[in-house]
Amino acid sequence: MVRDLEKDLEICEAATPGPYVIESCQCGHPACNLVFIQKIRHSDGRLSPEDAQFIAEAHTGWPYAIQRAIDAEKEIDRLRNELEILQEQLQQNRCRD
In this predicted model, what pLDDT tens digit does every residue of 1-33 receive, in sequence order?
A: 788 999 999 999 999 888 888 888 888 898 998
Neighbours of 8 (CB within 10 A): 18
The DSSP bridge partners found for residue 47 are 41
Instruction: Judge if pTM exceeds 0.85.
Output: no
Report the C-alpha gap between 68 and 74 in whole angstroms. 10
In this predicted model, what pLDDT tens digit does every residue of 41-69 receive, in sequence order?
A: 666 778 888 988 999 999 899 999 999 99
Q: How far is CA 10 from the centre of its chain?
A: 13
Residue 97 above 70 pLDDT? no
Provide the 8-state DSSP code for 44.
Answer: T
The DSSP bridge partners found for residue 35 are 24
Report the C-alpha gap between 34 and 41 in whole angstroms. 15
Q: What is the dihedral of CA 14, 19, 24, 27, to 10 degrees?
A: -50
Confidence at residue 45, expressed as pLDDT on a 0 to 100 scale: 73
Each domain of the chain, given as residue ranges in start order, spans 5-96
Confidence at residue 13, expressed as pLDDT on a 0 to 100 scale: 93
